[in-house]
Amino acid sequence: MQCLGETYEAEAVGLDIFIMLDTSGSMYDLLPEPDPDGVPVAKWDAVRGSLESFVQAPETSGIGVGLQYFPQNVEGVPFSCNTNDECGPGGPCSNSICVVSGVLNTEGDGIPPYEFIRIAGDTARFCASDDDCPGDGETCQTMIGECVYPPERIEENPEGAFINVSPSPDTPLISPLCGAQPGDCSGLPDSECEEVGVCSLQLIKCSASIGCPAGAGECTPFPYSCVNQTTCDVSRYASPALPISSVAEYSADIVASLREQLPRGQTPTGPALTGALEHSRVWAEQNPNRQVVTVLATDGFPTSCEPLDITDIAEVAANANAGARPVRTFVIGVFSTTDLGRDGEQRLDRIARAGGTDRAILINTAGDVAQDFLDALNTIRNTAVRCEFRLDDVASLNFDLVNMQMTDAAGGATQLVNVGDVAACGAGEHGWYYLRDSSGTPYQINVCPTTCGAFTQEGVRADLQIGCATRIR
């Protein structure tokens, strides 16, 4: 039976977006393709540029945006270090590692074997004292660099070279290390101890005498960091670097904040998302006339802090998407095919689905990351503004005589069902529910998470029918 009451297009509630942005060390990884001028581009540069374009776009001027970054550091612990003492409770410094003495037999009459210092085992183990290095012959030392052949020291490498003392090409590269002791490189004739750095535009080793190749930038100090620098304190992530503010007025502040960031550290996804959703929930309660969504933008899976399991992190998103003021979680993942792995897409989808947004938005680093990330933000903006609707002239409404229908671009209408509250939203039903103030009076209509996706299609709108008997399942 057709409703004969008044019908008009519903007006969407104003939108605020709180972005939890990954600034871990892997964001410095270079993309496969350089920019049009041939300059290498890091993931961070592409993502940062997209966010700057997003907040400066005219289409975004009517919304609010807030920012926080992860990881955050333990209070008082620096991001970079040179000694364990500098790290305090965040130690040790990553240049303090377990090492052993190595010997490489050389061929030829009268040539003594090479003697050197190398990492103990196949991977570096950080240490604060010898007690952390219990293996045979292991000691804890602060290594400032490597033994290298400076330019013109040997005929085979007139431009200088880093040394590989691995006994065979079939085994992993082994670098001879050196610390503060002047004799650390004496067992490698013609070599010298030099501090090792990294080229500013490509992840290539360099030193005082062995510079960066053309196009790789300048040699900069290696970014040693405090091993236990990452905080798992949710309150640090719930406190924004920039609170949610009008993009039209504060876009310059957002751009300035982005340009101050230097990617480094680990990926504490659990507390980062928990803090972001906590901040968004409080904001939603304080601003009942606005809707707020959270965006988790990351290039990796959790590496530190509980919870580490994706199922547990998805539960955090699910809890935030329930209750009187649900907050949805959008997920943007920036991954290479290799880093994503066989089940990476499903793992990210699990978080997004639990957060009420169906699936994650994946960006492949082999493509145009800057444009794809900007497209993802625009998709989120356009999706979010279509699923929460204002109730005007509340005092004169009979809330039992309000209904909603979804009208597509061709004019076809689908009746939506008032399910009562968000907890009653089903997996496949077209539903909506009232948000109510402390007195129980409705002030807003929300579409159920599973229904929301339909409103993102071009030309789809929500129509409110006033004076029609509402149907509560």
Answer yes or no: do 102 and 185 share one domain.
yes
Q: What per-residue confidence (pLDDT) applies to 2? A: 52
Whether cis (ω within 30° of 0) applies to the bond prior to 271 is no
Tell me if 77 is assigned to some domain: no
Tokens 């003021």 — which residue? 325
- Sign of the dihedral defined by the CA atoms of residues 366, 371, 374, 376, in that order: negative
Q: Could you list the residue range(s) of the whole structural domain that residue 139 is in? A: 84-221
Collapsed DSSP state (helix, strand, coil) of residue 229: coil
Tell me if 404 is assigned to some domain: yes
From the DSSP assignment, how many helices (H) and strands (E) are in the chain? 10, 24
* Region 135-164 average pLDDT: 92
CATH number, position 255: 3.40.50.410
Answer yes or no: do 185 and 286 share one domain.
no
Strands 442-447 and 431-436: antiparallel
Answer yes or no: do 270 and 282 share one domain.
yes
Tell me if 321 is assigned to some domain: yes
Residues making up the chain, counted from first to last: 473
Tell me if 226 is assigned to some domain: no
Domain stops at, among 385, 416, 435: 385
pLDDT tens digits for range 375-421: 999 999 887 766 778 777 666 678 888 888 888 888 888 888 888 88
Answer yes or no: do 178 and 117 share one domain.
yes
Q: How far apart are CA 368 and CA 46, in angstroms?
A: 9
Answer yes or no: do 126 and 205 share one domain.
yes
Tokens 């339909």 — which residue? 454
Answer yes or no: do 261 and 335 share one domain.
yes
Sheet holding 417-418, edge to edge: 388-390, 442-447, 431-436, 417-418
Q: How far apart are CA 450 and CA 182, in angstroms?
A: 67
Q: What per-residue confidence (pLDDT) applies to 1? A: 39
Tokens 């010898």 — which residue? 130
Tell me if 319 is assigned to some domain: yes
Domain stops at, among 167, 186, 221: 221
Q: Report how many domains make up the chain.
A: 3
pLDDT tens digits for range 326-365: 899 999 999 999 999 999 999 999 999 999 887 999 999 9
Answer yes or no: do 377 and 452 share one domain.
no
Whether cis (ω within 30° of 0) applies to the bond prior to 78 is no
Answer yes or no: do 155 and 44 share one domain.
no
Sheet holding 361-364, edge to edge: 242-246, 64-70, 14-22, 290-298, 328-335, 361-364
**Helical ranges in 239-336 per DSSP H:** 247-260, 269-286, 310-320
Q: Is the pTM of this model over 0.75?
A: no
Q: What per-residue confidence (pLDDT) applies to 219? A: 93
Tell me if 2 is assigned to some domain: no
* CA-to-CA dists, residue 414 to 312, 429, 460, angstroms: 36, 11, 11
pLDDT tens digits for range 412-444: 888 888 888 877 887 666 888 888 877 888 888
pLDDT tens digits for range 197-244: 988 777 689 999 999 988 888 999 988 889 889 999 999 999 999 999
Q: Where are the beta strands (DSSP E) in 316-372?
A: 328-335, 361-364
Answer yes or no: do 379 and 236 share one domain.
yes
Answer yes or no: do 378 and 422 share one domain.
no
Q: How far apart are CA 69 and CA 23, in angstroms?
A: 6
- Whether the predicted pLDDT of 179 surpasses 50: yes
Answer yes or no: do 91 and 206 share one domain.
yes
User: Of 267, 261, 258, 260, which is closest to residue 232 (Cα–Cα)?
Assistant: 267
Give 412-441 as a DSSP string: -EEE-EE-SSGGG--SS--EEEEEE-TTS-
Answer yes or no: do 318 and 242 share one domain.
yes
Tell me if 297 is assigned to some domain: yes
Tell me if 144 is assigned to some domain: yes
Contact between 32 and 366 under an 8 Å Cβ cutoff? The reply is yes
Domain stops at, among 200, 221, 242: 221
